[in-house]
Structure 1
Amino acid sequence: MIHETPIHIRYSDTDLNGHVNNAVYATYMEESRISFLQEVFPGQRLPLVIASLHIDFRQETRYPEHTDVVARTWLTRLGRSSFEFFCQIVSVRGEVLCEGTAVVVHYDFEKRKSAPLPDWAREKLLPYVREREESNVGV
Structure 2
Amino acid sequence: MRHLYRCPLRWSDMDAYGHVNNAVFIRYLEEARIDFLFRPDKEFKQGSVVARHEIDYKRQLVHRHHPVDIELWITEIRAASFTITYEVKDDDLVYVRASTVVVPFDFETGRPRRITAEERDFLEGYRDDDKEEAVAA
Q: TM-score, normalised by structure 2?
A: 0.87
How far off is 1:10 after superposition?
Answer: 1.3
Unpaired segments ≥5 residues, structure 1: none
1:118 to 103, 116, 119: 116
Seq. identity, %: 32
Letter in 1 for 2:114: P
Question: Structure 1 pair 125/41, CA: closer, same or farther in 2 (3 Å)?
Answer: farther
Counterpart contact for 2:104–2:112, Cα < 8 Å: yes
Q: How does 1:83-102 map to 2 (within 5 A)?
A: 83-91=82-90, 93-102=91-100
Once the two structures are superposed, residues 15-51 of structure 1 have per-residue CA deviations (whole angstroms, 9 ceiling, x without a partner) of: 1111100111000000100011134844662421110
Once the two structures are superposed, residues 69-102 of structure 1 have per-residue CA deviations (whole angstroms, 9 ceiling, x without a partner) of: 10000000011010000011002x4311101001
Unpaired segments ≥5 residues, structure 2: none
How far off is 1:67 after superposition?
Answer: 3.9
Counterpart contact for 1:40–1:125, Cα < 8 Å: no
Output the CA distance in 2 between the equivalents of 1:44 and 1:113: 15
Counterpart contact for 2:87–2:97, Cα < 8 Å: yes
* Structure 2 counterpart of 1:55: 55
* Structure 2 counterpart of 1:74: 73
Q: CA RMSD in A?
A: 2.0
Q: TM-score, normalised by structure 1?
A: 0.85
State yes or no: 1:11 paired with 2:11.
yes
How far off is 1:134 after superposition?
Answer: 2.7
Higher percent of residues as helix? 1
Counterpart contact for 1:40–1:124, Cα < 8 Å: no
* Structure 2 counterpart of 1:109: 107
